[in-house]
């Protein structure tokens, strides 16, 4: 997988570049992984509802073609866009999402933080009162909970978001891991469509690292987990 370090780039330009890459890629084109950071921006998924934008203020709002609801990108966040041919890789979308989350969880573990999945709520979460403990969540996907039962975020903070698009068996958009951010913009939205969901970063957990330190760990984990 070819890794491209883009630095801080405009969200709209990057999204259009991903779409063009995916639409024009040949069957033998190598997969790529784009790492970047964005200036403050709210992005709406295909199913995004306007009432989840509470008070966006002066932050740009961009409608996208990824899945999911509204989220925020900004400085201090590592954004990763895997451009993967799933048919060639040999796994389907559900497993792709699992592998993305696993890469995020392993990256957090590298810095001592325990990440968790929540049933029917893509992304990665941490216990606010014990971010380094390993006790399982009652609402983890393995419990087979119904959607309404699963979305209990009491005591949890969301530390990584996920939103993808698949076209002609090829992926774009991706994941965002919060490292050391100004988290105030998250109070202006219902993050990922969940009212009252607290959003955190590694700094909130007491882990003082930079995006430049986290990015290579996430890159390595994504390369490992997304391999055919």
Q: Which residues carry out catalysis?
A: 192
The beta-carbon contacts of 57-60 under 8 Å, at least 24 apart in sequence, are 57/188, 59/185, 59/188, 60/11
In DSSP terms, 172 is beta-bridged to 165
What are the backbone angles phi and psi of residue 216, rounded to the nearest 5°?
A: -65, -30
Q: Which residues contact 38 (CB under 8 A, 6 or more apart)?
A: 8, 9, 10, 11, 14, 73, 74, 77, 79
Written as six digits, the tokens of 5 are: 């370090």
What are the backbone angles phi and psi of residue 127, rounded to the nearest 5°?
A: -75, 125
- How many other C-beta atoms are found inside a 10 Å radius of the C-beta of residue 156? 20
């Amino acid at each position: 997988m070819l890794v491209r370090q883009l630095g801080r780039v405009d969200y709209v330009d990057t999204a259009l570049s991903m779409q063009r890459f995916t639409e024009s890629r040949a069957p033998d084109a190598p997969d790529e992984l784009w790492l970047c950071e964005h200036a403050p921006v709210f992005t709406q998924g295909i199913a995004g509802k306007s009432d989840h934008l509470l008070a966006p203020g002066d932050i740009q709002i961009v409608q996208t073609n990824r899945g999911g609801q509204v989220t925020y990108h900004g400085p201090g966040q590592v954004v990763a866009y895997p451009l993967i041919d799933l048919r060639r890789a040999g796994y389907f979308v559900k497993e792709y999402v699992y592998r993305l989350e696993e890469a995020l969880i392993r990256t957090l573990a590298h810095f001592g933080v325990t990440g968790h999945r929540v049933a029917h709520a893509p992304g990665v979460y941490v216990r606010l009162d014990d971010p380094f403990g390993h006790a399982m969540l009652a609402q983890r996907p393995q419990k087979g909970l119904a959607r309404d039962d699963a979305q209990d975020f009491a005591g949890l903070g969301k530390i990584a978001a996920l939103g993808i698009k698949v076209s002609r068996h090829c992926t774009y958009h991706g994941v965002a891991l919060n490292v050391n951010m100004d988290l105030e913009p998250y109070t202006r939205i219902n993050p990922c469509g969940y009212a009252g969901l607290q959003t955190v970063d590694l700094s909130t957990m007491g882990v003082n690292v930079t995006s430049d330190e986290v990015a290579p760990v996430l890159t390595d984990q994504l390369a490992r987990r997304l391999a055919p």
